[in-house]
Structures are given as structure tokens and as C-alpha cells.
Amino acid sequence: MQTIFSDLHARHHPGLEFYEGELKHYHDTPNRAQIVLDALRSAGCAAPSAPQDFGLDPILAVHRADYVTYLQRAYADWVGDGGIPAGVFPDVFPMRSAMRHGGRILRPTKPSALAGYYSFDLTAIIVEGTWEAVYHSAQCALTAARIVHAGAPAAFALCRPPGHHAHADLCGGYCFLNNASIASHWLASSTSTAKEGQTRVALLDIDFHHGNGSQDIFYSRDDVLFVSLHGDPSRQYPYFIGAADECGEGPGYGYTVNFPLEQGVGDERYLDVLAQACERVARYAPSYLVISLGVDTYQFDPLGDFALTSAIYPRIGALIAQLGLPTVFIMEGGYAIEQLGLNVAGVLSGFEEVRPS
């Protein structure tokens, strides 16, 4: 299958993040993308293609315009205000209780406070090249979506930075623009006709962490089914969201499906739950399937607590392929550098065994 990749991702390279109370190296390192590329080349995959440029419109269809403007300007405004060149860090977060006073929170002008207004944690660090990197990461997702829309059985967007934690107006968890949501919305809206009615898209999130941003973006919609397997958020990042009783709201009720999982999940248990998730996707009978592909479910991932072996990843790909749906794979997390390439290539090759391009 075709891989879409932009080397502009390397413009985003924060050095350090707050991790368990200390400053540690940033986990979303630029070499993550290179490692996946190398593994795909070794597996005999075709060389990656550069993304096409869809402009800002498909991004603005998912993200708030003021948030996108913030992402574009935040670094310059921060440095202009005397901020450290290493990147933008919030120094305050909106207080929940401020919502009582008129149902809104004030939007500050101070760059360090504005960063708090548009962030839910400290790890989506904006550096000088972040906007360029995230813009092209989203274009990779859109290009892969277009390839599948044009009739390919599958395509892989090697996105970096990742996206599934980003809300319409919030960054966090190394994510700024929600690549999988941008691709899902584009697919859902680009082909609907009066005659055929609404195009349905299933977004299946298999990153170790709950896709809080994706869930929130589609929470009240029935044209994008969101299904996620993840470490139980009562124990694991991103916390606060991703429980099994979050099912969607309004017209979206029944179109959010969460499978929060216990620590130490092994291969057979995971495949059993993934099969249940796939059954829900099949029942929805979507026109397209988008996969938020994280491999931080791997047993030695520093950010996860599952016990999956590398042998499971081709089986995951095969199970997804058995749905028989046009499938867009979007790269999310995976931080066990040693096995990252093998595990990602495993999912894609397992898919191709069942559904060759």
C-alpha cells in the first residue's frame, strides 16, 4: 500500500517534556518517523510519496479558526513576550469553577496564559517549526484519504506529530491537529450526495491511549462512528475521558464505543476485544474505515502498560482487513523505538496478506 510522508515533520522537535515530575527527553522524537520508514523499506514496501496540499479548509472543518490562528502564531508571540526559545509552555490552565460565572472562561492575551487556554497538558510543546510540521502531517492524512476515496483498498499516512488527542480547540499529548478526525470528516463530507444520503465513516482507534480529541469531535454525530480500545483512563493518560459509559449524545448517541482495558492485556485478550470492536464497525456498515494506528500497546512501550508481543501486529492488521472496507491508516503513538518499525510494518503487512493492493 502507498505510504504518504512529509519530511517537514522534522521541523517539530521539542527537546524536553515534563514527565513524572521531571524534565525528560520529548517522547515524540523525529527519528520515530524515520524508523517506521526504514522498516517499511526493509519490508519491501514502495517508497513514500509526498502529500498533496488541500489547504486549510479541511482543517477548519474540524478545528476552531481561533485555535488554528493560535497554533500559527503562538511561538512568535511567546518569544516576543520574552518566552524561552525551547518552546511554548502554559503557566496556567482554565479553572473549572470559572464556568459558573456566565458559562464561559475569558480568553487571555498573555502568551503563556493563552497556551493554557488552548492546551490540556504541557506536552504539546510548540516550537518554531511546529505549525509547518502539523500542517503537513494533516495533509498526509488527507492525501491518504483521497487515495482510498479514489479506489485503493488502503493507504498509510505516516503522520508526525500524531493527532488523536487534539480537540477542536485544544492541543495535548504530543498532538495539535487531529489528523484522523480531519481525514474522517473529509471522507464523510466529500462524497455525500442527496441521492446516496450521508456517507458513513468508522474511526477505529487502536493507540494505547484513549483518543479523547477524536471522541469529542464526533461525540454528537452519527456519520462518524468512533470506536476505541485503550488503557482504562481511570489509570492511564489522558485520564478524565474514555469510559465505557460514554456513548455519544443527541444524534450521536450509540456512535461512540469505548473499550477501556486493564493493565497487562495480552495478545489473545486484545484480539478478543478487537474482534468485538470490529463487529460493531461491521454492523455500522461504513463506506470507509480510518484507523488511528498507535503501537504503544507493545509490551515494552514506556508509555503503556499492556503486554502485547510483536507477533500480534500482523494479526491485528489481518483482523482489520477482514472487514473488507477501504481503509486509511493514520500513524499515532508508539515509543518503544527498538520495535516501533517492526510493529507498524507488521500491522500493514498483516492487512495486505488478506487484502493485497
Phi-psi region of 246 (alpha: psi -120 to 50; beta: other; left: phi over 0): beta
How long a stretch of residues is the chain?
Answer: 357
Neighbouring C-beta atoms of residue 184, cutoff 10 Å: 32
- What is the C-alpha separation between 86 and 84, in angstroms, rounded? 5
- What is the C-alpha separation between 23 and 15, in angstroms, rounded? 10
Q: CB 214 → ligand SP5: shortest distance, Å?
A: 11
Tell me which of ligand SP5, Zn ion, none is bound by residue 317, counting a contact when its beta carbon lies within the kind-specific cut-off of 5 to 8 angstroms: none
Q: Which of 153, 173, 242, 341 binds ligand SP5 (CB under 6 A)?
A: 173
Q: Is 333 in the site for Zn ion (CB under 5 A)?
A: yes
Instruction: Please report, to the nearest 10 degrees, the dihedral formed by the alpha carbons of residues 107, 112, 115, 120 taken in order.
Output: -100
Give, for 351, the enclosing helix (H) or strand (E).
Answer: helix 337-354
Residue with Cβ nearer Zn ion (189 or 310): 310
Beta-carbon-side half-sphere exposure of residue 346 (alpha carbons within 13 Å): 17
Name residue 252's amino acid: G
Contact track, ligand SP5, 199-218, x by CB under 6 A: --------x-x---------
Count of residues of this chain found to bind ligand SP5 when the rule CB under 6 A is applied: 14
Looking up cell 512529509, which residue turns up? 6
Instruction: Determine whether 165 is an active site residue.
Output: yes
Q: Choosing from 165, 185, 209, 230, which is the catalytic residue?
A: 165
Q: CB 173 → ligand SP5: shortest distance, Å?
A: 4
Q: Which of 332, 342, 347, 348 binds ligand SP5 (CB under 6 A)?
A: 332
Q: CB 17 → ligand SP5: shortest distance, Å?
A: 8
Catalytic sites, residue numbers = 165
Residues in the site for ligand SP5, rule: CB under 6 A? 123, 162, 165, 173-175, 207, 209, 237, 294, 296, 303, 332-333
Residues in the site for Zn ion, rule: CB under 5 A? 207-209, 294, 296, 333
